[in-house]
């Protein structure tokens, strides 16, 4: 390959993609997904949505399926399948709400608590790597701006 041709492939122009949020989110998603799978996903056999759900339960003790579906942007059937998988693994329990017997609460089991704490520790190194690329103010701003994007 000659030098001119090599230069063209390494210095690809993005055109209008440079200013498109979706492009940058997709690129960041590839990198973050790969890192998540290497640090958390494969070692702990967790998908990102499972990790997120377990972290929510760790932070909140018990949540209703409706609350989980809303914060994770899942449909009721998808949440049910997710809860079934986690329950089959012994990571969560579904119990009747003591204040309203018509509804359920979802809680972590001891095994679920232990797993998500281990996974969270594994994730801290991954987050530290990304955060090292940004100042604390930039990191805070990035999180705030991303939340504005998905909260509409």
What are the sequence ranges of the domains in the chain? 21-151
Domain 21-151, CATH: 1.10.10.10
The per-residue pLDDT for range 114-152, each reduced to its tens digit, is: 999 999 999 998 888 888 888 999 999 999 999 999 886
Is the per-residue pLDDT at 8 higher than 80? no
* pLDDT grade for 67, boundaries at 50, 70 and 90: very high
What is the value of pTM for the model shown?
0.84
Question: What is the DSSP track for the chain?
Answer: --HHHHHHHHS---GGGGG-HHHHHHHHHHHHHHHHIIIIIHHHT--HHHHHHHHHHHHHSEE-HHHHHHHHT--HHHHHHHHHHHHHTTSEEEEEETTEEEEEEEEE-HHHHHHHHHHHHHHHHHHHHHHTTS-HHHHHHHHHHHHHHHH-
């Amino acid at each position: 390959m000659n030098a001119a041709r090599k230069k063209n492939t390494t210095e690809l122009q993005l055109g209008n993609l440079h200013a498109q949020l979706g492009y940058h989110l997709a690129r960041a998603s590839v990198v973050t997904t790969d890192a998540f799978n290497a640090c958390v996903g494969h070692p702990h056999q967790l998908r990102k949505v499972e990790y997120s759900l377990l972290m929510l339960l760790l932070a909140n003790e018990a949540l209703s399926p409706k609350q989980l579906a809303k914060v994770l942007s899942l449909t009721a059937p998808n949440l049910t399948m997710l809860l079934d998988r986690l329950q089959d693994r012994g990571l969560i329990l579904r119990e009747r709400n003591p204040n309203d017997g018509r509804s359920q609460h979802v809680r972590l089991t001891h095994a679920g608590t232990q797993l998500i704490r281990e996974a969270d520790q594994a994730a801290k190194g991954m987050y530290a790597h990304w955060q090292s690329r940004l100042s604390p103010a930039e990191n805070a701003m990035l999180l705030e701006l991303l939340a504005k994007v998905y909260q509409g």
